[in-house]
């Protein structure tokens, strides 16, 4: 899988409440991201695990190479501010 290094990637599943919450947050903030659905693309689960070292989701990978696993909304927002991706 070839990813754009300028894009946020989120590995998740539609049955995962934390994934739904994080997707909603990014959508509401108007943040573009690539969503990798692990149900539709099960081989990507190994990629997510190799990034995070765990099997928990969501795994959110940022353009600076940092990642968060099961992040809270404040954690996502803080990282977006750090990367100057949020207005205001």
Sorting pLDDT into bands at 50, 70 and 90, what band is 4?
Answer: low
DSSP, res 48? H
Which CATH architecture is the domain 8-82 placed in?
A: 3-Layer(aba) Sandwich (3.40)
Q: What is the pLDDT of residues 9-54, one digit of tens each?
A: 999 999 999 999 999 999 999 999 999 999 999 999 999 999 999 9
How far apart (Å, rounded) are the C-alpha atoms in residues 46 and 55?
Answer: 9
pTM for the model: 0.92
Q: Where are the domains of the chain?
A: 8-82
């Amino acid at each position: 899988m070839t990813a754009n290094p300028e894009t946020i990637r989120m590995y998740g599943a539609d049955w995962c409440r934390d994934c739904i919450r994080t997707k909603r947050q990014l959508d509401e903030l108007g943040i573009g991201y690539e969503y990798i659905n692990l149900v539709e693309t099960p081989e990507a689960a190994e990629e997510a695990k190799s990034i995070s070292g765990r099997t928990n989701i969501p795994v959110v990978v940022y353009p600076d190479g940092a990642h968060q696993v099961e992040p809270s909304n404040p954690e996502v927002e803080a990282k977006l501010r750090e990367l100057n991706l949020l207005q205001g």
